[in-house]
Amino acid sequence: MDIHPIRSGGNASCRSHGRRGSVMAITAVILPVLAILAAFAINAAHMQLTRTELAVATDASARAAGRAFSEIQSVDSAVDAAIATAALNTVNGDPLRLRGGDHDYEIEFGNALQNNGTNSRYVFTKIPTSDVRSGTVASAIRVTGKRVAGSLSGNVPLIIPGLLNADRFETQYDSVAMQVDRDISMILDRSGSMEQVDFDWDNGENPFSGSALYWASNQGVLNRYYNNGSWNYYYAPGQDSNTYQQYMWENYFDKGPAPQSPWQDLVRAVDAFLNVLDATSQEEQVSLASYATTASLDTLLEKNHQIVRDKVRRLNTGGMTAIGKGMQEGIQGLIDARARPFAAKTMVVMTDGVQNQTPWAEPVAANLVANNLLTIHTVTFGTGANQEDMREVANIGGGKHYHAASGADLVRIFEEIANNLPTILTE
């Protein structure tokens, strides 16, 4: 039998070379495709990162503008805040630059309303900036951040240029900051120290001398009757020791504006607070609680703020200082059926003294914010107030602490709180 060896020579070698050639040919096709896909992926990731940075910068700018517009009530302050905040945020390594001109359409004013009811999307309706400057009420600000040709920041270069004949791209993002409605609980100190007035009478000035009393009775500030050979005097309706001495200070002794009690300053501050709320485009509800040795819920949430004004004027002062009790009464107004589920809840706690009745305000505040979506602001007034305790209450409540050294300060602070409308982003 002849045995023939198996030959593997020439034909096998040709097949091997053929396979290598096919692989190389396929690789020559695939590698450029992979490179193109990788370039697209890199550019796409870069574009997405740039858009995200632009959204963050524009949102921050809109929030800052809305806060400034609410607190300062000035178009220019809102525009300045938007531009300054945008510049603190980078987009593709460069600060976002906004233009603030009325016709640049990058910072616009208007209103944001829900289109079809409570749970629908908010729709921004622009109001000409010139109209807002002239007094037209606006409740929202739209900021448009741009990285496009013709903007201050320009468009954005691609990481790998040349794909699809493009070497740059453009992106734009809108953000609307809208002021929201509030349900507000005012907690007022009506303790005895609130009625004290320091009348610094000069030597020779006595509002209770016979001649001063006789003159005051002729002015209708006092009533009098004659008994056993002498005149007897008593306060006319609506007058008391403080109001009588204030009248005599200004009209009998002609000493200029009379010293005021802390309570009188507070009444004016509450008036100023409600006047600001009356002028906002939002529908603000206000409830009232007050405290001395005990506390009371004096009004539920009211849209008619005159009801609150009238109630404040009817409150009487006197007693100790139970701030925690006042806060416990005040929260009842914010959880009552009149409270609106989508309104921001705000508590304003005011005192001129030192808490000396339990429960203490700090643990009460901690309990309130643990169980309610609530912001607590605190206001101290005068040299006798414990600012440290009230600052801690505000910290617990996520709000601000304010201190007023004078009646004018107190009015300014209450106006500032009223103007400090919370904002949300609706786009």
Residues 174 and 186 in one domain: no
Residues 410 and 370 in one domain: yes
Residues 324 and 411 in one domain: yes
Spatial contact of 22 and 50, defined as CB atoms under 8 Å apart = no
Question: Mean of the pLDDT values across residues 64-79?
Answer: 87
Asked whether the CA dihedral 392, 393, 394, 397 is positive or negative, the reply is positive
Domain-located, residue 418: yes
At residue 117, the pLDDT reads: 53
Q: What is the pLDDT of residues 118-133, one digit of tens each?
A: 455 678 999 999 999 9
Which pLDDT band, with edges at 50, 70 and 90, does 402 fall under? Answer: very high
Domain-located, residue 12: no
Residues 269 and 405 in one domain: yes
Residues 248 and 158 in one domain: no
Residues 283 and 409 in one domain: yes
Which pLDDT band, with edges at 50, 70 and 90, does 27 fall under? Answer: low
Report whether pLDDT(291) > 80.
yes
Report whether pLDDT(165) > 90.
no
Q: How far apart are CA 376 and CA 89, in angstroms?
A: 30
| Structural domain containing residue 404 | 182-194+261-425
Question: Mean of the pLDDT values across residues 332-345?
Answer: 89
**Lowest-pLDDT range of 151-165, 217-231, 370-384:** 151-165
Residues 160 and 292 in one domain: no
Residues 211 and 333 in one domain: no
- Which percentage of the chain shows pLDDT scores above 90? 70
Domain-located, residue 1: no
Residues 275 and 190 in one domain: yes
Report whether pLDDT(9) > 90.
no
Domain-located, residue 14: no
Report whether pLDDT(21) > 80.
no
Residues 166 and 281 in one domain: no
Residues 190 and 238 in one domain: no
Cβ within 8 Å of residue 160, ≥6 positions away: 39, 42, 43
Listing DSSP states for 122-183 in one string gives EEEEEE-HHHHHTT----EEEEEEEESTTSSS--EE-SSTTGGG-SEE-EEEEEEEEE--EE
Cβ within 8 Å of residue 409, ≥6 positions away: 403
At residue 301, the pLDDT reads: 97
| Residues in a beta bridge with 350 | 379
Look up the CATH number of the domain holding residue 350.
Answer: 3.40.50.410
Domain-located, residue 233: yes
Residues 146 and 186 in one domain: no
Report whether pLDDT(195) > 80.
yes
Total of domains in the chain:
3
Domain-located, residue 351: yes
Domain-located, residue 120: yes
Domain-located, residue 333: yes
